[in-house]
């Protein structure tokens, strides 16, 4: 979305110059709420680097049509993969929103041992759809181009096996200062559940090449720790 676009909308497929893109009924309703009219500028995002701008050429109750005249492919951001705990649903959704704003590359919930006692917890296909919707809203609001890749919840074994090789970090209060460790790309940040990791879980992560790192003396909630960890990783990548 450029500075002249009045709003931005998510599309499933990349939009090319000259294409006419049909927006959904929910988008048409949003356009009505914003009081946008034919001839006004809007932006489009596909979540995989495609950004476009165009003009509203038709507006109905059930859809809207955008004629695209600008399209740019944005390179992917620095890779940061986030292993989050399966935890309280509302707090996971808040974290999902912030992860999208910070251009996290992927989101993988992990069913840690202490996740099993949480209720109501965020897991399953329906919740995953809610995570995606929240991330899309954040993507549009922040004018970003890349949506985090969303994976289903995994066991610790599966999460470790799927984590890319690179700078693997597990946030742990007793670890070394995060800013002082060497963080290669791609970065993988593992965040534990409320109450912390079981000893066996932390041992499994360290054995798999994760470095225990601390981001302060306070014991943080998982969503705060995750955002702080991503912010530190971003600052290290840009230094």
pTM, full prediction: 0.91
Ranges in the chain, pLDDT < 50: 1, 239
User: What sign does the CA torsion over 73, 238, 149, 9 have?
Assistant: negative
pLDDT value at position 216? Answer: 82
Spell out the residues 6+ positions from residue 131 whose beta carbon is closer than 8 angstroms to its own. Answer: 92, 93, 96, 107, 122, 150
**Measured distance between the N- and C-terminal CA atoms of the chain, rounded to whole angstroms:** 28
Alpha-carbon distance of 108 to 130, in angstroms, equals 14
Q: Tell me the pLDDT tens digit for each residue of 110-120.
A: 999 999 999 99
**What dotted CATH number matches 80-238?**
3.40.1280.10
* CATH label, 8-73, candidates 3.90.1300.10, 3.30.590.10, 1.10.3720.10, 2.40.240.20: 2.40.240.20
**Which residue's structure tokens are 């066996």?**
200
pLDDT value at position 6? Answer: 84
Order the strands of the 80-85 sheet from edge to edge. 149-150, 106-110, 80-85, 187-190, 167-177, 211-214
Burial profile 59-89: b = 16 or more Cβ within 10 angstroms, e = fewer: beeeebbbebeebeeeeebebbbbbbbbbbb
> What is the β-pairing status of strands 50-59 and 41-45?
antiparallel
Domains in the chain: boundaries: 8-73, 80-238
> What is the β-pairing status of strands 167-177 and 50-59?
unpaired
pLDDT value at position 168? Answer: 96
């Amino acid at each position: 979305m450029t500075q002249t676009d009045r709003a931005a909308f998510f599309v499933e497929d990349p939009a090319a110059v000259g294409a006419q893109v049909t927006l959904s009924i929910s988008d048409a309703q949003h356009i009505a709420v914003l009081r946008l009219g034919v001839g006004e500028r809007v932006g489009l995002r596909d979540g995989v680097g495609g950004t476009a701008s165009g003009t509203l050429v038709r507006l109905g109750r059930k859809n809207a049509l955008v004629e695209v005249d600008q399209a740019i492919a944005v390179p992917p951001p620095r890779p940061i993969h986030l292993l989050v705990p399966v935890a309280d649903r509302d707090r996971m959704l808040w974290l999902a929103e912030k992860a999208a704003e910070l251009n996290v590359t992927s989101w993988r919930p992990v069913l840690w041992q202490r996740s099993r006692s949480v209720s109501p917890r965020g897991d399953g296909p329906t919740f995953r759809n809610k995570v995606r919707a929240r991330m899309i809203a954040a993507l549009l609001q922040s004018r970003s181009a890349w949506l985090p890749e969303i994976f289903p919840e995994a066991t610790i074994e599966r999460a470790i096996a799927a984590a890319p090789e690179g700078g693997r970090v597990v946030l742990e209060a007793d670890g070394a200062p995060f800013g002082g460790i060497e963080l290669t790309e791609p970065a993988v940040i593992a965040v534990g559940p409320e109450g912390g990791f079981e000893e066996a879980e932390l041992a499994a992560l360290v054995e798999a090449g994760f470095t225990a790192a601390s981001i302060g003396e306070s014991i943080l909630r998982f969503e705060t720790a995750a955002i702080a960890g991503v912010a530190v990783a971003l600052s290290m990548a840009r230094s």
